[in-house]
């Protein structure tokens, strides 16, 4: 029988894939080889943008390392807190359902709106946080001290996205087989030993998946920085995506922004692949 | 000529003062103009109501509400009611206005008939905008626009942006403190200096520092020295230039404030600019907590809410302070931007130890009609209606509308006394401040070269690094100058030079 006609059924999916994924990537590559900006068209300029990026733009690399710091820190914190919360409501406790819903609420809110609310909280002259801390003689510069501003971004990110980690890890915990836990109980393992030798290893594959998914998301951090600090004070909270946004949509250096985006995409693919491999090697020894 | 001008301004003033006579018919339908009623003119309610645009659609991209977005939507609704047109208004955040119009422009499309933006977009946008037709250039309303705002809306003699707003930076201060004899005595006793409206940035800094962090108006809250736009990328470059003009705009060295027009070498890291940035870094000590993250909205709220002694930027903070619901209505004053006791001479490379002051006619809201629009006449009618006498006066009275004086008739103090309830002295000092800026021969106009955002963004990044303590003022401005040189090289020296020459002509009073 000739099944060649079966390929016709692939066309709709292929067409969508080309339209929404392949074409934009090819267009970005083409754009990155042009000087498209407010005064030039899509003129071909070869690798000029890439040469500029690698030889004359320390700000891009600074923002990349800042992003690495912010995303790794936030994801680690989200993992630790998310795991703790998931572990807490995994067991039969009072108001279990209530807590499960409560812990998910931050994730269900709109990030930009919540960041505006956080910005109001941390407002140094009008916000309630400093109003309360002021009673104890503290007035931290949440948004205007270069170091503390990074910490503030981390707080908001952790608050917003820990529920996502919680959800994935809770789903993982609920799907774990019961037998290893029964065996550990018969052996008289303490809760800590049970966690270290049973729960954590069994959760490793899910943990790797959750961490990688969150790392991908955290590496795109933009809205929190945009609303909270605009990358400031100075450039102290500027991340790669925010910097690309500034160059592309504020300064309208579309060609250069495309070269940064493409470079960033390549770096992210490589680094996330390496991270996934390392995590797998560390956590899935057997 | 002078007699004609006097007669014209007397006539306009007369119309403004006695305009309530027209208040019956149109103000019943449109309460926004209840203070004046319709004011006769080429685009008055009466005239626009004679147009029939039934079945036609006008698409407008404007700023988010309230600033300029609210009056756009309000006048769109009124226009639709009067003409039968359908008017679709899209609201866009300030930072995205440029790209939202530019991307389709570059792609050869015109999804909007009318695009709002800032006046310094003009060079990038003008090739995609329709010049204002002669018919509208000859309207009574247009004849009333000040010379400098005709210049800001035009490129080398051709008007591409329809004037709807006029902007300049000037000093706002708490009159109830500065003019208070008890405060003056206390300040003298503590500092040995006179408490008066500051005429130099050094005086501004000294007074702001003295009045920082204590409750000087007895409202039970702490007050601070100054509210300024210091947030990176949030118009902060304009605040920096406002501080720089005193030290770096030397009337004896024409030929460019931002660049040396002949060589196109950036001036931005010369000692004049560095001195201004040094002052600004010092200012971080007398702004309210969190002040270095203040955008324009925070500045308006802070000064307008009575939190600071001084502020300088656009009119909005002052108008907000003078609104009926303000706790400091009629307690604030205006004055020209402070000057300096020395000014840098970039030709001799030396400081000149003499007083210098220069007004900054900063960019403001601007609007144009897309060249590819199929309803150009309706679009220009809408803009003419937007800024007609009645709408303009009503818009001026609302602080967060973002519409500021740009017509000669706006400089009549009676307008503010009669319709807005301002004290005579305040209204007179306000209109005098604005009028004097129009007369000055040492003005600085906004940078309007192609790719202007690359230049201003570099300034915002550099100066914000200095404010955050990441770099010294000299290092920060050296970085800005290096970036400017790179941009000039990328854009092409002769192209930037050609664009910049148009602005320099205005600054050197040759246009």
Contacts of A38 in chain B (CB under 8 A): 102, 124, 450-451, 453
Nearest to A240 by CA among A213, A227, A214, A259: A259
The token duo for B321 is 């302070």
How high is the pLDDT of residue B298?
Answer: 86
Option in B288, B450, B454 nearest A253 (CB): B454
Contacts of A142 in chain B (CB under 8 A): 290
Contacts of A125 in chain B (CB under 8 A): 224, 288-291, 302, 307
How high is the pLDDT of residue B17?
Answer: 45
How high is the pLDDT of residue A4?
Answer: 73
Residue A34 placed within a domain: no
Instruction: Tell me the nearest-neighbour CA distance from B13 into chain A, angstroms.
Output: 42
Residue B91 pairs in a beta bridge with B62
The token duo for B464 is 């914000």
Q: Which residue of chain A has the CA closest to B105? A: A38
DSSP letter string, B382-445: HHHHHTSHHHHHHHHT-GGG-----BGGGG-HHHHHHHH---HHHHHHHHHHHHHHHH-SS-B-
Instruction: Tell me the nearest-neighbour CA distance from B273 into chain A, angstroms.
Output: 18
pLDDT digits (tens, 9 = 90+) for A127-185: 899 999 989 988 899 999 999 999 999 999 999 999 999 999 999 999 999 999 999 99
Contacts of A233 in chain B (CB under 8 A): 232, 292-293, 464, 467-468, 470
Q: Answer whether residue B16 shows pLDDT above 80.
A: no
Q: How many distinct helices (H) and strands (E) make up chain B?
A: 23, 14
Contacts of A144 in chain B (CB under 8 A): 290-293, 468
Contacts of A129 in chain B (CB under 8 A): none
Number of domains in chain A: 1
pLDDT digits (tens, 9 = 90+) for B56-77: 999 999 998 888 999 999 999 9
Residue A77 placed within a domain: yes
Interface test with B, best of A49, A237, A247, A251 (most B CBs within 10 A): A251
What is the distance between the alpha carbons of residues A255 and A269, in angstroms, rounded to a whole number? 21
Q: Which is higher by pLDDT, A125 or A246?
A: A246
Residue A254 placed within a domain: yes
Q: Which residue of chain A has the CA closest to B465? A: A234
Residue A13 placed within a domain: no
What is the distance between the alpha carbons of residues B204 and B483, in angstroms, rounded to a whole number? 31
**A35 touching B, CB under 8 A?**
yes
Residues 114-173 of B with CB under 8 A from A: 124
What is the distance between the alpha carbons of residues B236 and B460, in angstroms, rounded to a whole number? 6
Angle (deg, nearest 10), helices B69-83 and B376-386: 120
Radius of gyration of chain B (CA): 23
* Cβ–Cβ < 8 Å for B273, B293: no
Residue B159 pairs in a beta bridge with B154
CB distance B465–A39 less than 8 Å? no
Averaged over B380-405, what is the pLDDT?
92
Residue A5 placed within a domain: no
SS3 B313: strand
Option in A139, A232, A246 nearest B289 (CB): A139
* Cβ–Cβ < 8 Å for B291, A233: no
* Cβ–Cβ < 8 Å for A194, A186: no
Contacts of B457 in chain A (CB under 8 A): 246, 250-251
How high is the pLDDT of residue A286?
Answer: 56
Q: Answer whether residue B12 shows pLDDT above 80.
A: no
At which residue do the structure tokens 């000057």 appear?
Answer: B339
Residues 213-272 of A with CB under 8 A from B: 229-236, 246, 249-253
Residue A49 placed within a domain: no
Q: Answer whether residue B234 shows pLDDT above 80.
A: no
Contacts of B212 in chain A (CB under 8 A): none
How high is the pLDDT of residue A147?
Answer: 94
Q: Which residue of chain A has the CA closest to B287? A: A125
User: Does the bond joining B207 to the residue before it have cis omega, within 30 degrees of 0?
Assistant: no
**B102 touching A, CB under 8 A?**
yes
Mean residue pLDDT of chain A comes to: 92
Contacts of A232 in chain B (CB under 8 A): 231-233, 292-293, 464, 468
Residues 97-136 of A with CB under 8 A from B: 123-127, 130
The domain in which residue A182 lies consists of 59-283
The Cβ of residue B138 has, within 10 Å, a number of other Cβ atoms equal to: 10
**A92 touching B, CB under 8 A?**
no
* Cβ–Cβ < 8 Å for B471, B479: yes
How high is the pLDDT of residue B467?
Answer: 95
How high is the pLDDT of residue A2?
Answer: 66
Q: Which residue of chain A has the CA closest to B466? A: A234
The Cβ of residue B308 has, within 10 Å, a number of other Cβ atoms equal to: 27
Averaged over A28-37, what is the pLDDT?
95
Nearest to B279 by CA among B197, B170, B205: B205
- For residues B347-372, one letter each, b for 16 or more C-beta atoms within 10 angstroms of the residue's C-beta and e for the rest, the string is eeeebeeeebbbbbbbbbbbbbbbbb
Here the CATH number for the domain that contains residue A163 is 1.10.3720.10
Contacts of A35 in chain B (CB under 8 A): 490
Averaged over B157-169, what is the pLDDT?
93
Mean residue pLDDT of chain B comes to: 91
Quickly list H helices, A33-178: 48-56, 58-90, 96-102, 105-108, 111-122, 128-134, 146-174
Contacts of A41 in chain B (CB under 8 A): 106
* Cβ–Cβ < 8 Å for B497, B262: no
Residue A23 placed within a domain: no
pLDDT digits (tens, 9 = 90+) for B415-464: 899 888 899 999 999 999 999 998 899 999 989 999 898 999 999 999 99
pLDDT digits (tens, 9 = 90+) for A201-240: 999 999 999 999 999 999 999 999 999 998 989 999 999 9
Option in B233, B468, B470 nearest A250 (CB): B233
Instruction: Tell me the nearest-neighbour CA distance from B448 into chain A, angstroms.
Output: 13
Query: Cα dihedral sign for A151, A155, A161, A167?
Result: positive
Residues 249-278 of B with CB under 8 A from A: none
Domains, chain B, in order of start with CATH, read 2-163+363-431 (3.40.190.10), 168-361+443-511 (3.40.190.10)
Q: Answer whether residue B123 shows pLDDT above 60.
A: yes
* Cβ–Cβ < 8 Å for B294, B493: no
CB distance A146–B102 less than 8 Å? no
How high is the pLDDT of residue A231?
Answer: 92
The token duo for B493 is 């020296």
């Amino acid at each position: 029988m000739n099944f060649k006609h079966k390929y016709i059924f692939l066309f709709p999916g292929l067409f969508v894939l080309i339209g929404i994924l392949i074409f934009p990537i090819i267009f970005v590559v083409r754009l990155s080889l042009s000087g498209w900006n407010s005064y030039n068209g899509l003129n071909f300029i070869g690798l000029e943008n890439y040469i500029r990026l690698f030889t004359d733009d320390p700000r891009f690399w600074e923002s990349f390392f800042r992003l690495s710091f912010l995303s790794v820190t936030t994801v680690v914190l989200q993992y630790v807190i998310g795991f703790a919360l998931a572990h807490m409501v995994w067991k039969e406790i009072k108001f279990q359902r209530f807590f499960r819903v409560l812990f998910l609420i931050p994730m269900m809110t709109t990030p930009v709106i919540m960041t505006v609310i956080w910005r109001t909280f941390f407002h140094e002259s009008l916000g309630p946080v400093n109003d309360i801390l002021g009673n104890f003689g503290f007035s931290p510069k949440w948004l205007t001290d270069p170091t503390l501003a990074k910490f503030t971004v981390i707080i908001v990110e952790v608050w917003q996205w820990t529920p996502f980690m919680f959800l994935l890890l809770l789903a993982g915990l609920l799907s774990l087989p019961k037998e290893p836990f029964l065996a550990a109980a018969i052996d008289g393992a303490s809760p800590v030993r049970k966690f270290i030798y049973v729960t954590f290893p069994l959760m490793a594959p899910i943990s790797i998946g959750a961490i990688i998914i969150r790392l991908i998301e955290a590496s795109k951090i933009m809205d929190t920085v945009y609303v909270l600090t605009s990358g400031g004070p100075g450039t102290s909270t500027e991340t790669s995506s925010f910097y690309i946004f500034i160059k592309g949509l504020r300064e309208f250096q579309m060609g250069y922004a495309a070269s940064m985006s493409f470079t960033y995409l390549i770096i992210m693919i490589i680094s996330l692949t390496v991270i996934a491999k390392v995590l797998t090697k560390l956590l899935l020894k057997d | 000529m002078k007699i004609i001008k006097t007669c014209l301004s007397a006539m306009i003033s007369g119309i403004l003062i006695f305009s309530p006579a027209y208040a019956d018919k149109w103000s019943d339908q449109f309460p926004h103009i209840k203070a004046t009623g319709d004011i006769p003119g080429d685009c008055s309610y009466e005239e626009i109501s004679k147009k029939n645009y039934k079945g036609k659609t006008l698409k407008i991209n404007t700023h988010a509400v309230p600033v300029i977005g609210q009056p756009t939507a309000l006048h769109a609704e009124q226009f639709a009611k009067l003409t039968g047109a359908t008017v679709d208004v899209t609201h866009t955040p300030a930072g995205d206005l440029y790209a939202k119009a530019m991307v389709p422009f570059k792609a050869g499309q015109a999804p909007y008939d009318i695009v709002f933006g800032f006046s310094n977009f003009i060079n990038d946008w003008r090739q995609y905008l329709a010049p204002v037709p002669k018919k509208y250039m000859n309207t009574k309303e247009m004849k009333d626009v000040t010379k400098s705002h005709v210049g800001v809306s035009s490129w080398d003699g051709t008007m591409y942006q329809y004037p709807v707003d006029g902007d300049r930076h000037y000093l706002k201060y708490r009159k109830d403190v500065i003019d208070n004899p008890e405060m003056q005595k206390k300040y003298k006793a503590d500092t040995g200096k006179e408490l008066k409206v500051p005429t130099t940035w050094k005086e501004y800094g000294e007074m702001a520092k003295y009045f920082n962090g204590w409750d000087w108006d007895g409202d039970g809250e702490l007050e601070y020295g100054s509210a300024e736009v210091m947030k990176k990328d949030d118009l902060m470059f304009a605040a920096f230039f406002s501080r720089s003009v005193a030290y770096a705009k030397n009337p004896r060295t024409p030929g460019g404030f931002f660049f040396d027009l002949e060589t196109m070498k950036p001036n931005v890291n010369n000692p004049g600019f560095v001195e201004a940035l040094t002052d600004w870094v010092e200012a971080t000590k007398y702004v309210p907590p969190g002040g270095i993250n203040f955008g324009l909205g925070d500045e308006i709220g802070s000064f307008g809410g009575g939190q600071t002694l001084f502020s300088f930027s656009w009119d909005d903070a002052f108008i907000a302070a003078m609104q009926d619901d303000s706790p400091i209505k009629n307690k604030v004053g205006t004055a020209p931007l402070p000057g300096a006791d020395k000014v840098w001479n970039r030709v001799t490379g030396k400081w000149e130890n003499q007083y210098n002051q220069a007004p900054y006619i900063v960019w403001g809201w601007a609007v144009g009609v897309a060249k590819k629009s199929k309803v150009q006449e309706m679009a220009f009618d809408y803009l003419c209606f937007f800024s007609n006498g009645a709408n303009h006066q009503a818009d001026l009275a609302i602080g967060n509308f973002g519409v500021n004086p740009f017509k000669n008739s706006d400089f009549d103090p009676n307008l503010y006394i009669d319709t807005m309830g301002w004290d005579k002295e305040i209204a007179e000092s306000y209109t005098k401040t604005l009028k004097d800026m129009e007369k000055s021969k040492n003005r600085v106009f906004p940078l309007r070269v192609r790719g202007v955002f690359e230049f201003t963004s570099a300034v915002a990044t550099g100066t914000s690094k200095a404010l955050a303590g990441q770099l010294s003022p000299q290092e920060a401005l050296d970085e800005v100058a290096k970036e400017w040189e790179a941009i000039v090289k990328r854009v092409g020296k002769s192209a930037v030079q050609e664009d910049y020459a148009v602005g320099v002509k205005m600054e050197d009073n040759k246009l």
